[in-house]
Amino acid sequence: MKLFLDTAHVADIETAHSWGILGGITTNPSLAAKEGLEFHDLIKAITDIVSGPVSAEVVADTPEDMLAQASELVEIADNVVIKVPLTRAGVSAGARLTAEGIPINVTLVFSPAQAILAASIGATFVSPFLGRVDDIANDGLALLAEISEIYEMQGYDTQILAASLRHPQHVVESAKLGADAATMPFDVMDKLFNHPLTDIGNERFNRDWDAYQQSLAERRDA
């Protein structure tokens, strides 16, 4: 399962990139709005750092307007993936984009039926929003499990991108349920590293190493 960052914040993207674990980026209009940069400049800055897929969302009411935006976004870099909402207009635009060989990520997916629509138009990614399903007291992981089962059964090529993840356990469970990728906020990715026994063990190894070097130095000097 690839690890994606769900952000448009360039400094966080640089940090995660430096960790060597960054498989791609998803952005959305709300995340982009926080950054105070022109959208195209923002996507360019992100694609300058990340070589994996970078999702850039179209925001319009008609397929034609979505396609017009998509045609500009795909010019920014080869790894731009066009994010379309799971609306009638979004699916219509998405179908035309995939027919032209342009990769799409179908977003705002909250049901297995919607995930079937995304696969039927040949989407590269489908993004079920687990956290937002949990927010309304439903079961986001159960949704992912159902989509995973259907995709396996049908042999769909569309990759499942578990989205709207809120904590490390969402990431672990997504991996267990067969998600191809998981996109998460920076703080969730950062928390994947944490374990108190790693900190204690690392501290002890460092201390023992220093003592070992010290004793060798003393023996050399004796």
Q: By CB under 6 A, is residue 127 in contact with ligand E4P?
A: yes
Of the candidates 2, 34, 83, 176, the residue annotated as catalytic is 83
- Subset of residues 75 to 114 that bind ligand E4P, contact rule: CB under 6 A: 107
Render 165-183 in DSSP notation, one character per residue. --SHHHHHHHHHTT-SEEE
Q: Per-residue string for binding with ligand E4P, 21-50, x by CB under 6 A?
A: -----x-x----------------------
- Give SS3 for 41: helix
Q: By CB under 6 A, is residue 163 in contact with ligand E4P?
A: yes
- Which helix (H) or strand (E) covers residue 46, if one does? helix 39-49
Cβ 103 vs Cβ 124: under 8 Å: yes
Establish whether 191 is a catalytic residue: no
Q: CB-based contacts of 157: which residues, under 8 Å, 6+ apart?
A: 119, 122
Q: Per-residue string for binding with ligand E4P, 164-203, x by CB under 6 A?
A: x------------------x--------------------
Alpha helices in 51-87 (DSSP H): 63-73
Q: Which stretch binds ligand E4P (CB under 6 A): 95-103, 115-123, 126-134, 144-152?
A: 126-134
Minimum separation from the CB atom of position 53 to ligand E4P (A) = 11
Angle between helix 63-73 and helix 88-99 axes, rounded to 10 deg: 50
Q: Which residues bind ligand E4P (CB under 6 A)?
A: 6, 26, 28, 107, 127, 129, 131-132, 163-164, 183
